[in-house]
Structure 1
Amino acid sequence: MELGARTLWALYRKHPWLAASLTRPLFLPNLMVHGEWVLGALDGQGLDPTMLFDIHVLLYSHVQGLAVHLEMEAHAEAVTGQSEDQWMESRTPALQELVESGRFPTFTKVVGAFEDGYDLRLDALFEFGLKALLDGLTSLVEGQEVVT
């Protein structure tokens, strides 16, 4: 499952436009290969068909959910002519106003703790989420936990 997720992430990094809606998926042979591979890895674990497919969709959703931002950022940069860093820098006054309002104390504390601001690293978020997801699914797939 981990290899499948990493392969899909690499595909989206190369072709970000493929990250289509989960509710209106692209039925393309090369994407179906991924689905078949993950379902095959889960098959034979004693999971009922709904649980098996739910796990597949959950794993796919993690990868696809982050990958959507790859295409959105490329589009935003093309439209605005600004990099992500330039855009964020131009929004400093709005951020400062929110911080100074006193309405968001936890946000202010967390944001204030960053020496050079928060760097949104999609690859790192992919890794972090994948590990958490796979660790959480392990006991379920191995039959140690029942989800109702």
Structure 2
Amino acid sequence: MGARTLWGLYRKHPWLAHLDTLTRPLLVPGLIVHGEWMLAALDGHGLDPTTLFDVHVLLYSHVQGLAMHLEKEAHAEAATGQSEEQWMDSRGPALREPVESGRFPAFAKVLGAFEDGYDLRLDALFAFGLQALLDGLTPLVEGRRAGA
């Protein structure tokens, strides 16, 4: 699928996620290739042009949005000399304060359920979000299949 291909490209070249924006896209053939692939894959399902393009933009923004954090983390690690895990471990006292304050019961409950803390795994989060998006969009796309 195109979203997985794009994710793989961002994993290899994290800086690419920062080149393009949804509101002012770079209109160059090398970047339009992904859009062409996605639009062609969605075409023929009876979606009106606005919905078709909205689905494409939604899927693209999921991939790009998570990919933005790949380079940000690389820069943060270089600047601090700490891995993400080391940085989070060093923030333990600051994190305990809002948890123990009683002001954020849902936050405290969820964090308290993690035995070894929460491990933010961008690859897994990408796959989880993509599956949720695809599952949610399936009735829309399949329900309008041309000729149905």
TM-score of the two chains, using structure 1 as the length reference: 0.91
Of 13, 17, 22, 1:15 maps to 13
Q: How does 1:1-148 map to 2 (within 5 A)?
A: 3-20=1-18, 21-143=21-143
User: 1:93-124: per-residue Cα shift (whole Å, max 9, x none)?
Assistant: 11011111111111111101101000000001
SS of the aligned residue for 1:19 comes to helix
Residue 26 of structure 1 and its aligned partner are, at CA, apart by 3.3
Q: Aligned residues, how many?
A: 142
Residue 28 of structure 1 and its aligned partner are, at CA, apart by 3.9
Name stretches of at least 5 consecutive residues in structure 1 with no aligned partner: none
Higher relative contact order (CA 8 A, sep 6+): 2
User: 1:26-72: per-residue Cα shift (whole Å, max 9, x none)?
Assistant: 33433211110000011121111111100000000111111000011
Percent identical: 80
Name stretches of at least 5 consecutive residues in structure 2 with no aligned partner: none
TM-score of the two chains, using structure 2 as the length reference: 0.91
Residue 135 of structure 1 and its aligned partner are, at CA, apart by 0.7
Residue 82 of structure 1 and its aligned partner are, at CA, apart by 1.1
Partners of 1:135 and 1:37 in 2: CA distance: 20
Distance 1:26 1:76, change over 3 A: farther
